[in-house]
């Protein structure tokens, strides 16, 4: 079946039968901390015209989830095809590519593309972790650069709690932002590339991650009084049925919520405004790269994958940030635009993970086998038919023993002490009502427990949050 689907996609990629063996280019775009607000049913209006256009040309994976709800581990999983519980990369700040034996033996996605005779090009926020010097050189044919990181930061008067937790309209030049510099470089590459090899381009954005600084015109898109506020996923008594470890995760940056949450609604609304402005700013940068791709002539034979490393809470579960096992942290946008706009404008409702992108690209681009056994599943059946049967749940973990599973209808969470959460997404999309103590769900929970990892790799350490 996989062989047949790969052949099918190859024919989709190249209308000319004489060129049917030509492999597609790949453009992978990863934003930072972008939650599901830009999805139609979120209840929060986000102005993202370029992503709306891309979505209309793509298969939208409506239920897409990260393997870890924080930047570095999520990216380590995406680029290695391995779950955190198999590498020990659970937390930010651990530099897993330096210290994980499993990642040391694994071939990264850019390395595989390069070995598979692709020209690789990367820019912006990519791994969010240090790589061994010899491996850094193996990733990209260009000199990849983060272009400066999270800056620009606002002055102290615009800071709620330190320079990261801050909001400001930016009146300096657009090029003060690393995302603009990276987009400029991507546009230049797309306009100039004439190589015989297909290319793998990865553009990593730093926004909408805080600090919530963006050019003023993106703040001006929103009337703060018209923002959906509080967000639909907030409820004042929402933490009443949350197990202790869930409350611990929600309180990782607890001081922020306690000072600038529902007791300070002016600050909360301002933070929402900043996040939405930064999301629209990210959208604008993505649009520039998409326009350059299509105007360059490369677009016809290019697979575009747009996603984010993890989601983000803006008051849902009384939390600012990610680092939880709930929907708002784990869910990410995922659009796949295929050559010839195959299945454009369709929606896939099956639960999928970013872990699945590695084997999907390996199969679709006819890349060689990797030394590591990949944990994900090839999405080719869903690319061919977004309504195809899909038996696999999406799995998210955050630390040893912290496990979350998402099926089409349910989210199941289990903490190290054995406490559980269970949410019926057919009736409770905001995860307000924990059904884990309902005797009627006992068999369902027993089935979900069978999906727990048999072994948990010891943590490599790092910081919480």
Q: How far apart are CA 200 and CA 114, in angstroms?
A: 8
**DSSP-derived 3-state class of residue 387:** coil
- Given 66, 71, 278, 365, the catalytic residue: 71
Active site residue 66: no
For residue 159, list its beta bridge partners: 166
- Cβ pair 158, 167 in contact under 8 A: yes
Q: How far apart are CA 346 and CA 342, in angstroms?
A: 9
- Cβ pair 199, 193 in contact under 8 A: yes
Q: What angle do CA 136, 137, 141 make, to 5 degrees?
A: 120
Q: How far apart are CA 137 and CA 126, in angstroms?
A: 14
Phi, psi of 464 (to 5 degrees): -80, 140
DSSP per-residue string spanning 66-86: -SSSSHHHHHHHHHHT--GGG
Compute the chain's Rg from CA coordinates: 21
**DSSP-derived 3-state class of residue 254:** helix
Closest CA to 197 of 60, 325, 365: 365
Phi, psi of 241 (to 5 degrees): -105, 20
Q: How far apart are CA 459 and CA 85, in angstroms?
A: 8
Q: How far apart are CA 363 and CA 353, in angstroms?
A: 16
Cis, peptide link before residue 208, omega less than 30° from 0: yes
- Given 128, 209, 313, 318, the catalytic residue: 128
Active site residue 318: no
Active site residues: 71, 128
């Amino acid at each position: 079946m996989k062989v047949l689907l790969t052949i099918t996609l190859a024919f989709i990629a190249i209308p000319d039968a004489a060129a049917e063996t030509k492999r597609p280019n790949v453009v992978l775009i990863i934003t930072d901390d972008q939650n599901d607000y830009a999805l139609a049913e979120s209840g929060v209006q986000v102005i993202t015209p370029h992503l709306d256009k891309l979505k209309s040309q793509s298969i939208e994976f409506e239920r897409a989830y990260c393997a870890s709800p924080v930047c570095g581990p999520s990216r380590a999983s995406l680029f290695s095809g391995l779950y955190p519980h198999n590498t020990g990369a659970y937390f930010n700040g651990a530099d897993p590519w330096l210290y994980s034996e499993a990642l040391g033996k694994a071939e990264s996605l850019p390395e595989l593309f390069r070995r598979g005779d692709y020209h690789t090009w990367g820019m912006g926020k990519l791994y969010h972790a240090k790589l061994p010097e010899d491996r850094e050189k193996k990733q990209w044919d260009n000199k990849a650069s983060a272009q400066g990181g999270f800056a620009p930061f606002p002055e102290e008067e615009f800071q709620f709690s330190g320079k990261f937790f801050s909001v400001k309209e930016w009146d300096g030049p657009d090029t003060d932002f690393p995302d603009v510099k990276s987009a400029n470089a991507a546009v230049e590459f797309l306009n100039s590339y004439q190589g015989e090899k297909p290319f793998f381009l990865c553009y990593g954005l730093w926004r909408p991650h805080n600090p919530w600084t963006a050019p003023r015109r993106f703040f001006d898109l929103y009337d703060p009084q018209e923002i959906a506020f509080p967000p639909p996923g907030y409820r004042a008594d929402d933490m009443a049925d949350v197990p202790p470890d869930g409350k611990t995760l929600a309180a990782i940056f607890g001081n922020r919520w306690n000072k600038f949450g529902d007791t300070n609604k002016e600050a909360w609304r301002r933070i929402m405004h900043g996040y939405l402005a930064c999301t629209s700013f990210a959208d604008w940068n993505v649009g520039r790269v998409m326009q350059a791709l299509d105007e360059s002539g490369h677009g016809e034979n290019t697979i575009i994958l747009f996603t984010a490393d993890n989601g983000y809470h803006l008051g849902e579960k009384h939390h600012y940030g990610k680092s939880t096992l709930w929907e708002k942290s784990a869910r990410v946008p995922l659009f796949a635009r295929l050559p010839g706009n195959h299945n454009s404008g369709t929606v896939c409702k099956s639960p999928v993970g970013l872990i699945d992108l590695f084997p999907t690209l390996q199969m679709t681009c006819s890349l060689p086998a990797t030394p590591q056994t990949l944990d994900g599943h090839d999405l080719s059946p869903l690319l061919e038919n977004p309504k195809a049967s899909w038996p696999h749940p999406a799995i998210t973990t955050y630390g040893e023993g912290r496990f979350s599973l998402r099926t089409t209808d349910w989210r199941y969470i289990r903490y190290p002490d054995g406490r559980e959460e269970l949410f019926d997404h057919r009736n409770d999309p905001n995860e307000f009502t924990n059904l884990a103590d309902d005797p009627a769900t006992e068999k369902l929970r027993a089935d979900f427990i069978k999906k727990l990892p048999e072994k948990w790799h010891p943590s490599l350490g790092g910081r919480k949050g």
